[in-house]
Amino acid sequence: MSRANRHSEEGEMNSEYDIRGGVRGKYFERYQQGTNVVLLDSDVAAVFHDSESVNRALRMLIEVARGVRTDRQ
């Protein structure tokens, strides 16, 4: 049995993993708030460079789909 297998079977971490500088619960609050990550295809990302432009386009699409068009800047 190799040394790496022995460590994983015993539940121990290998010595090269140093987590002493870690902070417990650092992202807990942010995780609780939730997040939606969407991956854009490259052709779409070429047109929409930031989340603001994507959100604006999607809101316009929602309005069109609902049949309620309002002029927003």
What is the per-residue pLDDT for 72?
59
59 domain residue, yes or no: yes
The pTM (predicted TM-score) of the whole model is: 0.47
50 domain residue, yes or no: yes
43 domain residue, yes or no: yes
55 domain residue, yes or no: yes
Residue 29: partners with Cβ closer than 8 Å, 6 or more residues away:
none
7 domain residue, yes or no: no
Domain count, the chain: 1
4 domain residue, yes or no: no
Region at 4 (left for phi over 0; alpha for psi -120 to 50; beta for the rest): alpha
Low-confidence ranges of the chain (pLDDT < 50): 1, 7
What is the per-residue pLDDT for 52?
93
- Range of the structural domain that residue 56 is part of: 36-73
26 domain residue, yes or no: no
